[in-house]
Every structure is written in structure tokens, then in C-alpha cells.
Structure 1
Amino acid sequence: MTVLTPGAAEPGTRTLRPALTELRLTACASHFGVTLPVEPLTILTGRSGSGRSSALRAYRALARLAGGASLARAFPDPAGWVPEHAGPDASGRRGFRVGCTVDGPAGPVRLDLAVQVEPELRVAGERLTGADGTELFVTALRDPTRSTVQAAWYTAGAAVVTRAPFPDDRLGTAVVPLRVAGRTPGQRRVLAAAEQVVVALRSVFVCDPDPERMRATGPPPADTERDAGRLLPDCGNLAAVLRRTRTECAQRHARLVAAVRAGCRGPVVDLRTEGPPDGTERAVLDRGDGRLTPVQRLGDGELRYLALALVLLTGPGVLDVDPATEIPSAYQCLTVLADDLDRSLDDRQVRELAALAAAMCARGHVRLVGSARGAAQLRAGVPGDPLTVVDLDR
């Protein structure tokens, strides 16, 4: 694995917005002992089978666990996460391990998670470690007959640690804020570390624009439309979101129009919607000479480019994400996960999208972690700007 990065941040600097800086695939799917650096703009490259998609899925699974999801929901196909050649231990157990590092006001905090898949899906162990190596929160599967793990967290009071059972199907770090009182300096340190990890992981939007869904007419299916004004991962409700963003922020909409003009064929003077706001309206490109082009007539690459540009120019209030509402937005950073970022895009669109991503990531409120077939056109779009390329083939 080769990492091409413009350089690390200056030592001693702390960010107000917690952010994941490292993804560890210790023994997970096809990955063994892999540590991936995660910068504000990170692209994973490599041939088919190099593990680009599985790395992003691992990030997404951690995000779901941080939001309170069960193991079964975060890993719907748990057997697929077990390394193919991993044999059972003496007790007949098989599983996988994944982890991450989150930096923020509490300093770099490590989260390591071991998941047992066989004979049944459950947490086998979890560790939250502070910057100085202190084990702030640890769980272990002590009794296989009980549906709990034994948890211990740093107290630094009358007792060094406090022990209690935790659920064996949830991420313990996400449960810590509900169980730790915060009465001692040690407990408050545990709370700060756990909240930092949860805040960083929860603010994730998995973006995979589907041109067919974007071309469909009528409102999205009832079981997927949580809010017509919030963009869904497949961007099937693009028109409803455009109607909202066009009226809420003229400056940002103008920037979106400029991006679309740069990445789509023909003249573009505006991007708007037509029809009643009941889920049946359509998005159109205003060509400036009386012609209106419905976005349904655009090619797959143009549709994906438009949707990705919209995602980069919006935020948690517009995207279908579950941020930590109890934390001010100024202390949160949205991370966009985009697998096959350059799928269906031509070289010009890749360059324009990379330039837009670099500009938005530099502002600090959004990060982009994606995968692509190669990095040449991405680098052409952001010469001299911070772009971290991780080549999984090397």
C-alpha cells in the first residue's frame, strides 16, 4: 500500500471538530494489518479486488454502530467480514477486527473492536485508548452463556476502574454517555473520548447516486422517503431537494449552477424545478434561450456529477444523515463516503469534481473519503491542494 499525501498537520494542533484520521482493518474481509490514513480529502485507488469498497463499508459499519445500530444491522452479512483463511480458535470461534483513530479536543483516541461471528454474532471485545496509552474503556466476553460483555472504564476515584455489564450486540463506546456518570476527572475523560468518537463517526453520508432512480418520476417509495427535503443516498429525490436548496441559499445555489455548467454539455444559466411540490416535480436545466432540459435526459455521468456536486455543496441539514443533535454544528464535520467516485464520469468531470471537493474540504465543515479507479485526473483537478491518495495495490 502506497500513501501519497501533501503532509501532516503541524504537531500540537487540535481541531474543534472531531474527525476520523485513521481506519484500521486489522483482520477484516481481505485486509490484514492494514492502516489507512484519512485526511479531509482522501481517495482509495487500486484494481478490482484490492479492497477499496470493503474499506469504505467498514467505515460505514462503524458509523452505524456509533449511531446505536446493532451488529446485525451494521454487518448484515457478517460471514463476509471474516478473513477467508481465518480458522476457528480452540473454542470454535471465528470473527474479525476493525478499528479507527479519531482526533479532536480530547486528542487522538483509538477505538478497536473485535466481533465474533461464529458460533453467533456478538461483540468479543472493545477498547478505547487515550493519547497517552491509557485504556479508558474496555469490554471482554467473559461468559458465552450471557448476552452481555464485561465492561470496565477508567474512574481514577476511590476505585481505579468501574465495572458493569454492557450489551453484547452494540458498540460499547456509543453506550458510554448513557452509563458513565462523569463525577470524577477520570470518568469525565472517558466521556470526552467516547463522545468525540461518536460525534465523528455519526456524521457520515454514504453517497451513491443512482441515475435510474434519479430519472424515475413520482415520489420515492414510502419506505425510503423519510423527508422529501433531505437528500437520500441514491439521490432519487433530487428535484425536491433542489427546490429547497434553491430558495434557502442563493449563493450556494449559484455555486452549484457554476459547477453544473462546468461539468455538463451545453449552456447552463440555472438549475431549478418545475411542477407542484408533491414529489412529482422535475428538475430542469435552463439553457438560457427558452429551452429547458429535464435532468432525466442527461447521461449517467452528468447525473452522477450533478448529484455529487450537490452533496458537496450542502450539509447535514439537507442530507439524510443522523448527526449528534446535542452537539452544536460548529463542533461537527460531515464526512461523505463515495465508492467509485469516478464511475461514469469523463476526465473533465473528474477534474471539476476534484476541484470542488478540495475547495469545500478546505473550509473544514465537510470531508470526502472515496474510491476511484485511478488518481491522475483527480490530481489534475487539485494541483497543489491537499489530496491524499492511498494506493491499495502497493
Structure 2
Amino acid sequence: MTLPAPASLSETPLATGTRPLGDRQRPLRPRITELVLSAFGRHRRAVLEFGACTLLAGGSGSGKSSALRAFEALARLGGGAELGEVFPEPAVWVPEGARGDAQGRRGFRIGCVADGPEGPVRLEVAVQAEPEARIVGERLTARGLVLLETALRDPRRRVVQAAWHTAGTAAVTRGRLPDDRLGTALLPLRVAGTTPGQRTVLAAAEQMVVALRSVFACDPRPDRMGAPVPTGTGRLLGGCDNLAAVLWRTRAECGRRHALLVDALRTGCAGPVADLLAEPCGDGRVRALLDRGDGTRTDLGRLGDGELRHLALALVLLTGPGVLEVDAPGEVPDALRTLTVLADNLDRGLDPRQRTALLRLAARMCDRGHIRLVGAVSDASWAAGADGVTVVHLDRD
């Protein structure tokens, strides 16, 4: 399980006086623009390019869900999660037919590209799945320069040998990192930032980590959305179980966005919609209701699954990192982050009118630069030609 070998760290020192990677023309908010699936599940040598609003399209078995799974896994690793938490059954993702080496070791390789102020930064990760899970190789590169490289040297020890760019009195600094964590996420703890080369490493690593930690995997669960819930933190969970608690918060915080949400519900829900309310139950819980405008209030539990999924996804698109349950890098204000929403089976349970309205809302919000969407659908013919929407056909591309 080794990564392809470009020029080694010692062969690519940063020239004295070289400018930082960033320039004024680069986008300010880090975001993932490519997912690289070198060997993962059904994918081999696949590079998926993302626009602001992207649909992954393909039939059953084309690899839509596994692509989103890899994306979410990288996001969790970028947030500091241990490999075993992210991949409890790593052997599932080893490509079928992959042969082990003389020691019976097999694994998979994934990666991504994060664009932002530092230019495109590329991350590649090699994971050994058998006989035991460990990260056996990692590489962080930008503009052809290798900033971090790790490799497993001694299988008996639970560490990898790492080298990161320094460009000081020594071209690189060497050390050991744990084999169950993403080294890129650990660099701020290991790199002093005293040389231009070290500052370049830190800036690139921060861009990658911020982009990964701004990922929100969303799969609304209608069967759990209608019941009253504790007020809690007011941050929306991935299954949208606590939707009522979030409405309790957001309705008071931002009247304009709440009005946009109500307007979206007029398309997504049957019957008249005058408002969307959250009211206390008197026991520390709140429940959500539709105000029909004629004195009738409809409990969300009475809505259809398609109506509830449309509501939940519209709420996600109209909020941001401060409302959704995403990993928050404390040093980066929410205003400087672009939230990437991952939605498997995006159109599940939606009728043609609902899915078209939802895609129109997604394209509009993504165009503003605060939100990006990667959704998976089996058939994207209904989205063909939609403004601001990129369709990636996994059966063909």
C-alpha cells in the first residue's frame, strides 16, 4: 500500500524568497472541488469533479453511495476522528479482486482536492484494511510541491514515518505520527511555523482541514421528524430528527431566511401554508406545526414523507455552519467557510414538482458561495439543462 512517488521532499525545496501559495485571485472560502477514488469499492482511478451544485447520477451499483461515503470519511478524518471510528469494517471498501501482498495486506486509496486562498491542495491517503486497519501512506501537495509525506516503515509499530516541508536549514523535518489519524489534521500540533516553508505547510493543511470539516452529510428521516424533541443546542443533526428544535431557534434568529423557508414549503407541501411554527410543549420539548392560515395547524407528523424530506432539505440549504451539526474549527469564522452538503438519494420520496423546486433552491443558494451541494440520484434526466447544476454520470464519466 504505497502512494505513487513524485519527486521526494528532499528533491523539491521551496526556493528562497518564494511567495506564499495564495494570491488575491483565489477564492476566499476553502472547498472540496475533486474527489479522488484511486481504489475504493467499485471505483478505480476515478476523479469526480464538483461544481457548486453537483448531482451524481447512475443506476444501482454505479458507486454513488460509495463515493459519498468516501467523501464523508475524509471529512471525519479531517476533523480528527480515528480510523476505526470512520471505517469500522474497512475490508468492505477494498476493491473486489484486489490481491494481498506476501503478508496478506490489502487496502484502498482515496483523496481529494481543496481549493481556496492557497490554490489547489491535494490530499492522498492509503489505508490498509487487512489484516488490521491503519493509514499506511499520506501525501499533501500543492503546486507540485510535496508538503507532507508519510509511509509505514515498521509494521510492528503503530506509527508511520513522516516528513514535512521546512525549507530552513534543513529541507524537511522528520518525525513519527500515529497510524490511525490523518497526519494533515495533526500538522498544526507539530509544525512550528518559523520558516516560510513551514508556514506554507500550515496554510495548505489548514485549507484542507477547513474544507473537510465543513462537510455535512444529510439524510432526513421522516419517521423521526414529526415528534416533539428537547430544545437542545439548536443545531440540526444529519437525520434531521431534531428539526423542531432547530426551527425554534432559527425562526427567531433570521426572519428573512425563515420567510424563504415558508415560501419553499408552499411548493413542497400540499394545501395552503401561511407559516411554519415551533411551539413549546411545556415539558422542555418543542414541536413543529404548519400554520394553514385559516386557524388550522397541522402537526408535522401528519405530513407525507416527501413533504418532510423537502422541508428538511430546504432548511439545510437555507442555513449554514452555525446551525448545522458540522465540525467547527474555532479559529475560522463561519462567514469564511463554505458548507458542503452531502445528500444520498437526494430525490427519494419527492414528486417532480418538489424535486425541481428543491434543485432550483439549491442552485440559487450555491451560487451565493456559502453552500455547496453534492447529491446522488439514480436518474438526473429531470435536471438536464438546469442552470448552475453539474451532473456527473457515474455510469459513463
Q: Same fold (TM over 0.5)?
A: yes
Which stretch shows the higher mean deviation, 232-241 or 56-65?
232-241
Q: Deviation per CA, 1:365-387, whole angstroms, max 9, x where unpaired?
A: 1111110122232347xx3x221
Q: Deviation per CA, 1:139-185, whole angstroms, max 9, x where unpaired?
A: 00001111100000111111111100001100000000110001111
User: Percent identity among equivalent residues?
Assistant: 64
How far residue 228 of structure 1 moved from its aligned partner, in angstroms, is 3.9
Paired residue type of 2:64 = R
Residue of 379, 385, 388 corresponding to 1:374? 379
For residues 317 and 388 of structure 1, the distance between their equivalents in structure 2, rounded to whole angstroms, comes to 27
- The answer to whether the 8 Å contact 1:58/1:98 transfers is yes
- The answer to whether the 8 Å contact 2:248/2:286 transfers is no
Partner of residue 18, structure 1: 30
Partner of residue 123, structure 2: 111
For residues 332 and 367 of structure 2, the distance between their equivalents in structure 1, rounded to whole angstroms, comes to 22
Partner of residue 389, structure 1: 391
For residues 377 and 282 of structure 2, the distance between their equivalents in structure 1, rounded to whole angstroms, comes to 36
Partner of residue 17, structure 2: none
Q: 1:160 to 1:126 in 2, by over 3 A?
A: same
Partner of residue 7, structure 1: none
Partner of residue 156, structure 2: 145
Partner of residue 100, structure 1: 112
- The answer to whether the 8 Å contact 1:268/1:287 transfers is yes
For residues 202 and 376 of structure 2, the distance between their equivalents in structure 1, rounded to whole angstroms, comes to 33
Paired residue type of 2:29 = R
Residue of 215, 231, 241 corresponding to 2:246? 241
Q: Secondary structure at the match of 1:212?
A: helix
Which stretch shows the higher mean deviation, 361-370 or 208-217?
208-217
How far residue 330 of structure 1 moved from its aligned partner, in angstroms, is 2.8
How far residue 277 of structure 1 moved from its aligned partner, in angstroms, is 6.6
Partner of residue 11, structure 2: none
Q: Secondary structure at the match of 2:225?
A: helix
How far residue 92 of structure 1 moved from its aligned partner, in angstroms, is 1.9
Residue of 193, 196, 207 corresponding to 1:182? 193
Residue of 282, 293, 300 corresponding to 1:295? 300
- Is 2:334 the partner of 1:329? yes
How far residue 281 of structure 1 moved from its aligned partner, in angstroms, is 2.4
- The answer to whether the 8 Å contact 1:18/1:103 transfers is yes
Paired residue type of 2:262 = V
- The answer to whether the 8 Å contact 2:32/2:114 transfers is yes
For residues 378 and 42 of structure 2, the distance between their equivalents in structure 1, rounded to whole angstroms, comes to 18
- The answer to whether the 8 Å contact 2:226/2:299 transfers is no
How far residue 218 of structure 1 moved from its aligned partner, in angstroms, is 4.8
Q: Deviation per CA, 1:201-257, whole angstroms, max 9, x where unpaired?
A: 0011111100111133454xxxxx9x4411111111111111111111111100000
Residue of 283, 286, 295 corresponding to 2:291? 286
Mark the runs of 5 or more structure 1 residues left unpaired by the alignment: 1-10, 220-224
Paired residue type of 1:284 = L
Q: Secondary structure at the match of 2:35?
A: strand
Q: 1:312 to 1:218 in 2, by over 3 A?
A: closer
- Is 2:356 the partner of 1:345? no
Partner of residue 100, structure 2: 88
- The answer to whether the 8 Å contact 2:79/2:327 transfers is yes
Residue of 198, 209, 219 corresponding to 1:208? 219
Q: 1:35 to 1:278 in 2, by over 3 A?
A: farther
Mark the runs of 5 or more structure 2 residues left unpaired by the alignment: 1-22
Q: Secondary structure at the match of 1:281?
A: strand
Partner of residue 256, structure 1: 261
For residues 207 and 71 of structure 2, the distance between their equivalents in structure 1, rounded to whole angstroms, comes to 16
Partner of residue 6, structure 2: none
- The answer to whether the 8 Å contact 2:34/2:47 transfers is yes
How far residue 329 of structure 1 moved from its aligned partner, in angstroms, is 2.2
Which stretch shows the higher mean deviation, 308-317 or 270-279?
270-279
For residues 315 and 346 of structure 1, the distance between their equivalents in structure 2, rounded to whole angstroms, comes to 26
Paired residue type of 1:119 = P
Aligned Cα RMSD in Å? 1.5
Partner of residue 314, structure 1: 319
For residues 218 and 189 of structure 1, the distance between their equivalents in structure 2, rounded to whole angstroms, comes to 46
For residues 176 and 359 of structure 2, the distance between their equivalents in structure 1, rounded to whole angstroms, comes to 47
For residues 310 and 324 of structure 1, the distance between their equivalents in structure 2, rounded to whole angstroms, comes to 23
- The answer to whether the 8 Å contact 1:228/1:279 transfers is no
Partner of residue 53, structure 1: 65
Paired residue type of 2:220 = P
Partner of residue 170, structure 1: 181
For residues 272 and 217 of structure 1, the distance between their equivalents in structure 2, rounded to whole angstroms, comes to 13
- The answer to whether the 8 Å contact 1:240/1:279 transfers is no
Aligned residues: 374
Q: Secondary structure at the match of 1:105?
A: coil
Paired residue type of 1:121 = A
Paired residue type of 1:189 = T
Residue of 120, 128, 146 corresponding to 2:140? 128
Give the TM-score of the pair, scaled to structure 1: 0.92
